[in-house]
Structure 1
Amino acid sequence: MSHFDFVLCLNLVLCLHRPSRPMEFEDVSDASPLVPSGVVRTPQSLRRRLAEIDDEMADLQARLQRLAAERRPVVQSLRSIFYPVLDLPPEITAEIFLYCVNTAYIGNDGNLTIAPRLSTEGHGPLILASVCRAWRAIALGLRPIWSKFHLRTGLNTISSTQKLLECWLPRTGGHPLDVSISCPAVDTLLADLAPYAHQLQTLDCSLLAPITFPGSFIEGRLPLLKKLYVSLYGDLGSPPTLVTTFAYTPSLREAHLDGVTLPWIALPWGQLTCLGLSNIGSTDCVHFLHQTLNLETLTVADIGYDDIPPLPVRLAHLHTLKFHEYQRDITLLDHFTLPALTTLELPVVEWDLTQNFLDFVARSACALRSLVITFTGANVPFDPIPYLRALPTLSELRIRAAEWGVHTLRHFLGVMAEPTFLPNLRTLSFNPFPHSIELPYADLAAFLAARWHGRSDKPGDARLESFELVLGPDLDFDPNPSIAQLQDGLDALRALEVDGPKLNIRGLHRIAGTVDALAICPPFDRRRL
């Protein structure tokens, strides 16, 4: 064996017996925290990555410290902001809640969720209770805002309404309840209300003919019921079914019946002092009045005149009679004798009933104090002067929606200025006066001056203490007075405001302060300047 072969064999033996060294791999980029499977880092790369992580954590900690230092003054500034409403005494906040919540709506009619919600009638108490902890405590403890609600639900949502009632009703405590129910599930909801029937002071419900009204739930359990509203719908041709649920209600004083006639309902008629009747015939109306001889207030609407002449009725205690503006037939007056009447509201009807009215006043021999005349859009001429001449005791006259032109108004003011016309008048109101802002201000000022300065302090010679004229949005500029005439009238009205009756004349402008003739002159008419 040569020397070369010997050296080669020796190296081979040494290689076979030497311990193996770790394999070296290419360093993986430290930019990614994820290490691929099977890749091993060197100690040097791991130390570098650890140092980078420590540096990054130090930067983050430093940034957190800077943000915390910046946050402290912001929090202090927010705490220093003053919210007056949150610092009000609880009793003041509770009083505000009482004005805020009018009627809460409970239920779901299948189309619109109304439990509870913002509405034109008011805010639900649950909305107030969701604002903050303090308001929640006040709202949950304020029984009156939970005690007036409207139940309205469909048959498919009755279950959810019942669950809400279970939580709602205990909040009322022992406070009197005002409840309105308008849904087909009246029987089910009345069963839920039955444990609280002794708290009901107002109930509004509808009956569907043929009647299946479940009166047994609350009958005889209504000691506080003072107001009752009942509407009857459905097949009224079916035989009457007498509802006796409210026959024994010792506190009941006010009832409003819509479409309900005497054979359908039993009430303690003799103790009623306020009655509202609608959607029945004149004969049925008089039948009710023969049962309610202690009435003090009567309201009628949509009473149809039938062919059966009703019997005369005398109501010795009735002081207020209101014909709703939709009541276009006031021939009921032909059958009334009302000696105690002091307040009357009349609509303008489609034919002349002046003589009927004069006969009624003469027959009743009443001392009427307040009269409201409402123009109903019947587009018929109506002259209130004959009515008013028969009422020398009148102290308050209110005319609503008078469809008069300027000429008619000027004539009316001229008659009103007569010293013997309505000598006791103290209040006159046109609200609204729909058609004109180009008013005869000079005539108006002369009328007011005559009713103020031309009167003495003797009994029966009263001054006009209050005058209201609210102008509507429709414009009517015929005839067109001159700027000088407008200004003279406005100056005279302004002088009366200083020492004269209480004036409220408003429309597009409040007639006071710096308003002048140019401000109320029609733009197309300013060429007269």
Structure 2
Amino acid sequence: MPSFALPVLSNRHTEFQTQNILVRDQDGRLHFAPITRRAPTLPPEILAEIFIHCLPALGFVTPDPAEPPLALCAICRWWREVALSTPRLWSSLLVDFDDMPTNNTDVDLYRKWLSRARGAPLSISLKDWDEKEVLTSVDPILQTFVGLSRQWKNIEIDVGMNLARSIFPVDGDFPLLERLTVSVHASELSISFCDAPKLRQVSIPIYNPHIQVPWYQLTTLRIANISVPGCIEILRNASNLLDGTFEVAGNPPDVATSIVHHNSLRKLSLGAMINQDHNVNPMPVLSFLNIPGLKSLTLEFRNWDTTGAEDVSTFSSFVSRSSAQLDTLALSSMPATTQDLIECLKATPSLRNLKLDPAHRLVNMDRVFSQFTGDSKFLPKLQSLHFVLDPVFVTPFAVVDMLSWRWASSGITQLKFFRFAHGHNQRSVDGALKSHPEYRRLEMEGMELYVGDRSLVDTFL
């Protein structure tokens, strides 16, 4: 079989004119043409696709002359023409009204930016944390934003009362809207996104009952500052929800509420809004739920007075009623005694991932670690264990004994990941654990271990 030598590409001047590039002629046909230093080296479609990949993968684009897409327009006339004729380059925008100057420079930039997006689906974020007065100069931006509502795809609106009144209500439908975050400090405004057939992901950092969305369509939902009855009612209506996060405020309802049977939910996170006057318990929400398919549950108790324990039997009752085979559980500052915490864990034998941030003054951690040691019926499938603790409440030998037993014992799943994160600089405790021969042996044999400052590690499962 004859062999063919491939030509060697070179940028040396004497050989430059002999190299070819794929170009498109005036008739739209592709062909090879000699490379010249003055001619475009890529077809505009390919160059445009490269430009799009220069944009940030996450978040919204902030106009910056040193960053794409504006920086691309300053390279040469050819790049500028391609960039300005590529709508997707201009379909993402963050507008921070707090940094808006009093002149019209930025206003004109934002309006031209959005005009270049033409009919492309839009991802826009409006920020107004200082709740400034509506300036005449920014009103054209709001008008342009509202006028493009049929192109909204991913929208974040975090504005004060004055700007909110200039935006809402928005008339019409939202045929392209898929993701929505709305935090509006104007409780009297009626805001509806019900006519949005593609909307699946919604976040409402400050819950307002006047904000209406098609609950039954949603698959992901984040809501804060919502009452227990409001939370239950939304879960009743959001029948297709897969992932829900709720931060509740206020006390549980005084009237009887029927159980919500939710067959779609797979991940549920319940927390409590920080309240300076009293503790807010998110657990009563579980009293009204039956979620047989739930795989991940997070309970966060914030601002809780840890000097006294609470009745946590609601947790075990919920797990029993739902017959849920939980895979992941995270409990933060749960006001439970040592025995109550152990009983809650016994109710979830299917767990593979566990994170505990216990109420230190209520829980004997050495006893908890001992529970993980020697009992093959206690969390037999556990693979990942994450503690967030103050090390002064833990005996290093109890930790090492637990790790050794969970690594080598038969009849249980081998513990593969262990993290012990704390919020204080406790080098002596860290050193006692890390220098222990068993700890070092487990690390060498493949157990993934972390002991140290919680700020240096992801504290969530």
Identify which of 314, 327, 335 aligns with 1:356: 314
Structure 2 contact 267–296 (Cα < 8 Å) conserved: yes
Q: Distance in 1 between matches of 2:439 and 2:49?
A: 41
Q: For residue 367 of structure 1, give the secondary structure of its aligned residue in structure 2.
A: coil
Residue 153 (structure 1) aligned with residue 109 (structure 2): no
Q: Distance in 2 between matches of 1:506 and 1:336?
A: 37
Partner of 2:410: 455
Q: Percent identity?
A: 22
Q: For residue 393 of structure 1, give the secondary structure of its aligned residue in structure 2.
A: coil
Structure 1 contact 403–435 (Cα < 8 Å) conserved: no
Partner of 1:181: 126
Shift in Å at residue 388 of structure 1?
0.6
Shift in Å at residue 397 of structure 1?
0.4
Shift in Å at residue 132 of structure 1?
6.1
Q: Distance in 2 between matches of 1:488 and 1:279?
A: 42
Q: For 1:334-483, list aligned pairs within 5 A.
A: 334-348=287-301, 349-350=304-305, 351-375=309-333, 384-400=341-357, 402=358, 404=360, 408-417=364-373, 418-430=375-387, 432-436=388-392, 440-456=395-411, 461-475=412-426
Q: Write the deviation string for residues 41-82 of structure 1: whole angstroms up to 9, x where unpaired.
A: xxxxxxxxxxxxxxxxxxxxxxxxxxxxxxxxxxxxxxxxxx
Partner of 2:114: 169
Counterpart of 1:254, as a letter, is Q
Structure 2 contact 316–344 (Cα < 8 Å) conserved: yes
RMSD: 4.2
Structure 2 contact 60–123 (Cα < 8 Å) conserved: no
Identify which of 170, 182, 195 aligns with 1:248: 195
Unaligned runs of 5+ in 2: 1-45, 275-279, 457-461
Shift in Å at residue 128 of structure 1?
5.1
Q: For residue 345 of structure 2, give the secondary structure of its aligned residue in structure 1.
A: helix
Q: Distance in 2 between matches of 1:158 and 1:247?
A: 37
Counterpart of 2:97, as a letter, is T
Q: Distance in 2 between matches of 1:136 and 1:490?
A: 61
Q: Distance in 1 between matches of 2:285 and 2:256?
A: 9
Q: For residue 251 of structure 2, give the secondary structure of its aligned residue in structure 1.
A: coil
Shift in Å at residue 250 of structure 1?
0.7
Q: Distance in 2 between matches of 1:504 and 1:140?
A: 49
Q: Write the deviation string for residues 253-309 of structure 1: whole angstroms up to 9, x where unpaired.
A: 1222344444x2332222122222222322233232332222222111143225543
Partner of 1:111: none
Counterpart of 1:465, as a letter, is K
Partner of 2:13: none
Shift in Å at residue 218 of structure 1?
5.7
Q: Distance in 2 between matches of 1:393 and 1:103?
A: 40
Distance 1:288 1:156, change over 3 A: same
Q: Which one has the largest radius of gyration?
A: 1
Shift in Å at residue 148 of structure 1?
3.6
Counterpart of 1:311, as a letter, is T
Q: For 1:130-145, list aligned pairs within 5 A.
A: none
Shift in Å at residue 446 of structure 1?
2.3
Partner of 2:249: 303
Q: Distance in 2 between matches of 1:158 and 1:267?
A: 36
TM-score (norm 2): 0.69
Partner of 1:314: 261
Q: Distance in 2 between matches of 1:268 and 1:281?
A: 19
Identify which of 156, 163, 167 aligns with 1:204: 156
Q: Distance in 1 between matches of 2:328 and 2:78?
A: 45
Partner of 2:41: none
Partner of 1:257: 204
Shift in Å at residue 182 of structure 1?
3.1
Counterpart of 1:395, as a letter, is R
Distance 1:100 1:360, change over 3 A: closer
Shift in Å at residue 356 of structure 1?
1.2
Q: For residue 298 of structure 2, give the secondary structure of its aligned residue in structure 1.
A: strand
Distance 1:193 1:412, change over 3 A: same
Q: Distance in 2 between matches of 1:409 and 1:124?
A: 51
Partner of 2:43: none
Distance 1:326 1:476, change over 3 A: farther
Partner of 1:231: 183
TM-score (norm 1): 0.61
Shift in Å at residue 343 of structure 1?
0.5
Q: For residue 144 of structure 2, give the secondary structure of its aligned residue in structure 1.
A: helix
Distance 1:468 1:323, change over 3 A: same
Residue 277 (structure 1) aligned with residue 277 (structure 2): no
Distance 1:214 1:502, change over 3 A: closer
Q: Write the deviation string for residues 376-415 of structure 1: whole angstroms up to 9, x where unpaired.
A: 8x8x866632211110011100124x5649x943322211
Shift in Å at residue 145 of structure 1?
6.5
Counterpart of 1:243, as a letter, is I
Distance 1:445 1:135, change over 3 A: farther
Structure 1 contact 190–218 (Cα < 8 Å) conserved: no
Q: Distance in 1 between matches of 2:152 and 2:88?
A: 13
Q: Distance in 1 between matches of 2:201 and 2:127?
A: 20
Q: For residue 400 of structure 2, give the secondary structure of its aligned residue in structure 1.
A: helix
Structure 1 contact 190–217 (Cα < 8 Å) conserved: no
Q: Distance in 1 between matches of 2:395 and 2:53?
A: 44
Counterpart of 1:322, as a letter, is S
Structure 1 contact 255–276 (Cα < 8 Å) conserved: yes
Q: Distance in 2 between matches of 1:132 and 1:494?
A: 55
Structure 2 contact 224–273 (Cα < 8 Å) conserved: no
Counterpart of 2:123, as a letter, is D
Partner of 1:332: 285
Distance 1:173 1:395, change over 3 A: farther
Counterpart of 1:340, as a letter, is G
Structure 2 contact 93–125 (Cα < 8 Å) conserved: yes
Q: Distance in 2 between matches of 1:91 and 1:144?
A: 9
Counterpart of 2:122, as a letter, is L
Shift in Å at residue 209 of structure 1?
9.4
Structure 2 contact 52–88 (Cα < 8 Å) conserved: no
Structure number with greater CO (CA < 8 Å, separation at least 6) is 2
Q: Distance in 2 between matches of 1:468 and 1:289?
A: 33
Pairs aligned (count)? 385
Q: For residue 249 of structure 1, give the secondary structure of its aligned residue in structure 2.
A: coil
Shift in Å at residue 228 of structure 1?
1.7
Q: For 1:493-512, list aligned pairs within 5 A.
A: 493-507=439-453
Normalized per residue, the structure richer in strand is 2
Q: Write the deviation string for residues 218-263 of structure 1: whole angstroms up to 9, x where unpaired.
A: 621x2221122223424x4xxx65433x12101001222344444x
